[in-house]
Structure 1
Amino acid sequence: MNPVVHSHRLRVRYSETDQMSVVYHTNYLNWFEVGRTEFIRHADLTYRELEEKGVMIPLTDANISYKRPAKYDDEVEIRTHVSEITPIRLTFAYEIVRVADEELLVTGKTMHVFTNTALKPIRLSRTEPEVYAWLEHQHKGGK
């Protein structure tokens, strides 16, 4: 099974770096959020629309592994895919790669739970079956 991978490019801004011109470590988590947001937008859906439907996807856990630093003005690609999905939980996996040389800089995962607006867990497969089916389809590689 090869999940669908969504790619989004960005250029490292000066404000995202430290005194050594290296991307400050917490910015990668922000980039993971960009990857998630653009992944969902790829379904012609936005987080705002999900929230309007009463579905929230709060983060419960995150892990990150730093391989190489990104530096000021590097163009990087955030590669995002669904690595696990159940009716209650969703895990996204990420790779951040420098575009110029395809060097892997960072890998990571974020784990989420589906909730209503009161943050009570829900089964997305019942609440929004079309959205769940789309996410499951992405996880299975579009098969």
Structure 2
Amino acid sequence: MVATELRVIYGDTDKMGIVYYANYLRFFEAGRNEFIRAKGLRYRDFEELHRLALPVVDAQVSYRSPARYDDLLRVEVRLTEVRRASARFGYRVLRGEELLATGHTVHACVDLDGRVQRMPRALLDRLLPGEDVAT
């Protein structure tokens, strides 16, 4: 698991001062990027080195309590499942110890023309250590 902190900016909120629901997917993305970075990779390097991309093909968010402007959030990210040509990440968004949202994203592994490809072993070797992952 990798945790990332971020502060809610005014532009993340709606007229009521509550984080707009779709912005949780942006929080997930920020956490996922830091997860990949913590494993010694940069997403850009993955695209350039392997000529592959990991587009989101499924996303789900469950909201429990609202985040508000200037809240300091912690986004926890886990790699929860790896298949031949996809990976699933799980997320928890917290304010202190209060759980605000949970969710997941599933990413297909595709070449730059959008054709499904097997996950490269070199990528898996970097992402899997320390993770409790279903395969």
User: Is TM > 0.5 for Structure 1 vs Structure 2?
Assistant: yes
Query: What is the alpha-carbon root mean square deviation over aligned residues?
Result: 1.2
1:139: how far off?
3.1
1:135: how far off?
2.2
Aligned mates of 1:120, 1:139 — CA distance in 2:
27
Residue in 1 aligned with 2:79? Answer: 82
Runs of 4+ in 1 over 6 A off after TM superposition: none
Aligned mates of 2:103, 2:112 — CA distance in 1:
27
Tell me whether 1:49 sits opposite 2:41 in the alignment: no
Aligned mates of 2:130, 2:112 — CA distance in 1:
25
Residue in 2 aligned with 1:28? Answer: 24
Q: Which has the higher strand share?
A: 2
Residue in 1 aligned with 2:102? Answer: 107
Q: Secondary structure of 2:25's match?
A: helix
The alignment's TM-score, normalised by the length of structure 2, stands at: 0.92
1:87: how far off?
2.4
Aligned mates of 2:36, 2:43 — CA distance in 1:
7
Please tell me whether the aligned partners of residues 81 and 138 of structure 1 are also in contact (alpha carbons under 8 angstroms). no
Residue in 2 aligned with 1:118? Answer: 113
Aligned mates of 1:136, 1:87 — CA distance in 2:
14
1:138: how far off?
4.1
**Letter paired with 2:104:** K
The alignment's TM-score, normalised by the length of structure 1, stands at: 0.87
16 and 95 in structure 1: CA distance in 2 versus 1, 3 angstrom threshold? same
Aligned mates of 2:70, 2:132 — CA distance in 1:
35
Give the total of aligned pairs: 132
Aligned mates of 2:12, 2:88 — CA distance in 1:
26
1:66: how far off?
0.3
1:19: how far off?
1.4
Deviations 1:25-67 (A, max 9, x none): 1110001110111100112211110100212101100000000
Q: What are the ranges of 5 or more consecutive residues in structure 1 without an aligned counterpart?
A: none
Please tell me whether the aligned partners of residues 66 and 106 of structure 1 are also in contact (alpha carbons under 8 angstroms). yes
Which residue, 110, 124, 135 being the options, matches 2:127?
135
